Amino acid sequence: MNIGIDKIQLKVKEVGLSRQLNHQRLNGWSKSNTWLQLDDGLVLSKALFFADQCLDHNGQPMYGHHNGNLTIEDKPLEDTTSILFNPTNFFSDYKLTTNVKAAINKAQDIVWNAGLDIDLSCAEIRRIDVAKDRVLTEPVQRYATPLTNFLHFRRQSKKMGYDDGWTMGNNSRQFTFYDKKLKLDLDKVQNDLRNNTARLEYKLMNKGREYWAKSYGIYTPKDLTNDVDQYNQIYQDGLRQLMFKNVLDGDTIDLSPITLINQLKDYHRVYGRNFQDYYEKDFGRLGLNATFGIDAYIDAVAQVGNSNVKEVRRKVRKGLANAMKFSQSTKDVRRPVEYVQEIFNEYAKAS
């Protein structure tokens, strides 16, 4: 399975929620919970539960190694509970699954055992991540510059758990791209993934819930199925409406001069009169020539820099000639657009 659900976050708000056992004593709850001083004494404000910290009487993981990485954040004073889990991790270390029904049943058992008498099937979906794994033709890191420069990806914070990843989007919808095999190897997780295996995750976040819940009719876990087509539709929409929105013509990547001019303007704002040198350093002269053509590039630089076209042409041709000394021809250089096109072709495929 090359498509699956990577994370689901649920939230329950229920007045008088039954909490069967003390959060300080029940196995799996954090010992360092948050307390609030009220007139009648200390009251529990927030408690955290971690399924992987649940141990049986023999000191072994109560839910085994595959516990969905389930966590619970319970706020008794607000009568709210949030549950976050990874459906894939209920069944495997890394192989994606759309067996959402079984995953929710497993999550439900853990929540009940944690002492919370709530029905997850009626919970509100606050986040859902749909992911695909694909084997690319080159090392994953080589796709970083095209993604950063043409699709507005940015380096992912290492605090998020990705040593070599990139993300784009906003607080409503996001894409994250990273070397999945590298991450598993660094985490010392035994795997049979091939080299150059990249994961691209589409995250529907809580900030955009009103939009995506209505668009796809997914409000509670009852609305989720095991049907691959349901998640493929969500994923395809994300690719076309967010990730490739401004560079896609049908199924073909079209990095138009408008994109070039906007990028040059960004560099001009940052670097001033030296913007051309920095831009060519980041994008590569041969790559720019192959992507946009020398005449379109010269016109764009002259327009943004308010420069003489002849002067720009002289400088560009001289730089291109120097670059050619290190390459037999531009056909030996893979154009940035080809990297972007490969990403689209691979992840736009059905699972």
> pLDDT tens for residues 38-93?
887 788 889 999 999 888 788 788 888 889 999 999 998 888 999 999 999 999 98
Model confidence pLDDT, tens digit, residues 136-153: 999 998 888 788 877 877
Model confidence pLDDT, tens digit, residues 298-310: 989 999 999 999 9
Q: How far apart are CA 40 and CA 42, in angstroms?
A: 7
Whether 134 is covered by a domain: the verdict is: yes
Give me the percent of the chain exceeding a pLDDT of 70.
Answer: 92
Does pLDDT of 13 surpass 80?
A: yes
User: Rounded to 5 degrees, what are φ and ψ at 337?
Assistant: -60, -30
Does pLDDT of 248 surpass 80?
A: yes
Predicted confidence band at 328 (pLDDT cuts at 50, 70, 90)?
very low
Whether 278 is covered by a domain: the verdict is: yes
Helix (H, G, I), strand (E, B) or coil at 223: helix
Give me the percent of the chain exceeding a pLDDT of 90.
Answer: 52
Predicted confidence band at 335 (pLDDT cuts at 50, 70, 90)?
confident
Are 210 and 286 part of one and the same domain? no
Whether 348 is covered by a domain: the verdict is: no
Are 237 and 273 part of one and the same domain? no
Whether 343 is covered by a domain: the verdict is: no
Predicted confidence band at 263 (pLDDT cuts at 50, 70, 90)?
confident
Model confidence pLDDT, tens digit, residues 203-221: 999 999 999 999 999 999 9
Q: Which helix (H) or strand (E) holds 105?
A: helix 100-113
Sheet holding 124-135, edge to edge: 34-38, 41-50, 71-75, 80-85, 3-13, 124-135, 197-204, 173-179, 165-169, 154-155
Whether 182 is covered by a domain: the verdict is: yes
Predicted confidence band at 333 (pLDDT cuts at 50, 70, 90)?
low
Query: How many structural domains compose the chain?
Result: 2
Query: What per-residue confidence (pLDDT) applies to 331?
Result: 52
Whether 131 is covered by a domain: the verdict is: yes
Of 217, 243, 269, the last residue of a domain is 243
Q: Distances in Å between the alpha carbon of 229 and those of 9, 55, 91, 102, 235?
A: 21, 38, 21, 18, 10
Are 111 and 162 part of one and the same domain? yes
Does pLDDT of 20 surpass 80?
A: no
Mean pLDDT (whole number) for 278-305: 85
Are 76 and 190 part of one and the same domain? yes
Min mean pLDDT across 118-122, 163-167, 304-308, 339-343 is at: 163-167
Are 133 and 193 part of one and the same domain? yes
Are 195 and 258 part of one and the same domain? no
Predicted confidence band at 337 (pLDDT cuts at 50, 70, 90)?
confident
Predicted confidence band at 37 (pLDDT cuts at 50, 70, 90)?
confident
Q: How far apart are CA 298 and CA 316, in angstroms?
A: 7
Are 291 and 211 part of one and the same domain? no
Query: What per-residue confidence (pLDDT) applies to 159?
Result: 44
Sort 56 into a burial class: Cβ within 10 Å, 0-12 / 13-18 / 19+. Answer: exposed
Are 168 and 222 part of one and the same domain? yes
What is the DSSP-derived secondary structure letter of residue 273? Answer: G
Are 187 and 67 part of one and the same domain? yes
Query: What per-residue confidence (pLDDT) applies to 209?
Result: 96
- The residues, ordered by sequence, that sit 6+ positions from 350 with a Cβ below 8 Å of its Cβ are 232
Q: Distances in Å between the alpha carbon of 36 and those of 9, 40, 119, 236?
A: 26, 11, 27, 46
User: Rounded to 5 degrees, what are φ and ψ at 285?
Assistant: -65, -45
E strands, 136-280, in order: 154-155, 165-169, 173-179, 197-204, 248-249, 252-253
The DSSP bridge pattern shows strands 197-204 and 80-85 to be: unpaired
- Among all chains, which residue has been given the structure tokens 């055992």? 113
Model confidence pLDDT, tens digit, residues 182-201: 999 988 999 999 999 999 99
Are 207 and 322 part of one and the same domain? no
The pTM score is: 0.82
Are 263 and 193 part of one and the same domain? no
Q: How far apart are CA 202 and CA 103, in angstroms?
A: 19
Provide the domain limits for residue 306. 253-336
Of 243, 276, 310, the last residue of a domain is 243
Whether 257 is covered by a domain: the verdict is: yes
Whether 210 is covered by a domain: the verdict is: yes
Q: Could you tell me how far CA 74 lies from the centroid of its own chain?
A: 26
Are 197 and 267 part of one and the same domain? no
Of 243, 269, 301, the last residue of a domain is 243
Which among 338, 221, 345 is positioned nearest to 287, based on CA atoms?
338
